[in-house]
Amino acid sequence: MFLSLKYPLFHLFSSFCTFGATFTFVNRCEYKVWPGILANAGTAPLESTGFELAQDTSRSFQAPTGWSGRFWGRTGCKFDGSGSGSCSTGDCGSGQVECNGAGASPPATLAEFTLGTGSQDFYDVSLVDGYNVAMIIEGSGGSGMCASTGCVTDLNRQCPAELRVSEGDACKSACEAFGSPEYCCSGAYNTPATCKPSVYAEMFKMACPRSYSYAYDDPTSTFTCTGADYTVTFCPNMPR
């Protein structure tokens, strides 16, 4: 079958490129945030891998069906006119605004997505690598449960001294702070049966009940939706 030349170019393009979701990033913090984006192995990168997001602004990206990866917010960043610099939390180590395929240095609050190919999307907000900024995921226009999830509590304010970073800029996970197998769900503790939530994971879970608090926290922390677009908001309005 041959395509007619009367079809506009954008129509031909849309026949071959199927977008799975639009991701919109919103900054409600009282300071700038520099979101980082990391596509999983075998997944094409989005339009940007890192950018500046001023207070009360937003930016959107389109992702293809089957895309998977993670987002996070970098804070306390200093970049010069050429885009070179670093961040005090969530830094990806690229030395630039763009993360260029590098992930977040913990501690960092993570938003994780796997878009379906005509089926359910899976998403979560994870504190397994620690916490640096409040974050919430909200879906729109989809079908299914499509529940919002995230952590709207400022964990930096209630972070135990042994997990605290600097002057309370971020809060480490127990795994990063102590490195022992029972906290990291490694070695003899690498199964759901042997790895149980620590007192630190339980503290995170109490503050943010819909977020991942440790490696095997799937039942209450993974959410699904089909055919939705997603908004990732940093420092969403805190509940009264």
- Could you give the CA distance from residue 89 to residue 172 in angstroms, rounded to a whole number? 11
Is there a domain that residue 177 lies in? Answer: yes
* Residue 30 Ramachandran class (φ > 0 left, ψ -120 to 50 alpha, else beta): alpha
Q: Is residue 56 part of a domain?
A: yes
Does residue 145 sit within a domain?
yes
Whether 14 is in a domain gets the answer: no
Q: Within a domain: residue 134?
A: yes
- Whole-model pTM: value is 0.90
Any domain includes 105? yes
CA pair distance 121, 116, nearest whole angstrom: 5
Range of the domain at 195: 19-234
**Which segments of 28-185 does DSSP mark as H helices, in order?**
174-178, 181-184
Per residue of the chain (240 residues), what is the pLDDT tens digit?
A: 333 333 343 333 333 346 789 999 999 999 999 999 999 999 999 999 999 999 999 999 999 999 999 999 999 999 999 989 999 999 999 999 999 999 999 999 999 999 999 899 999 999 999 999 999 999 999 999 999 999 999 999 999 999 999 999 999 999 999 999 999 999 999 999 999 999 999 999 999 999 999 999 988 999 999 999 999 999 997 543
Report if residue 220 sits inside a domain: yes
CATH number at residue 161: 2.60.110.10
User: How many structural domains is the chain composed of?
Assistant: 1
In a domain, 8, yes or no: no
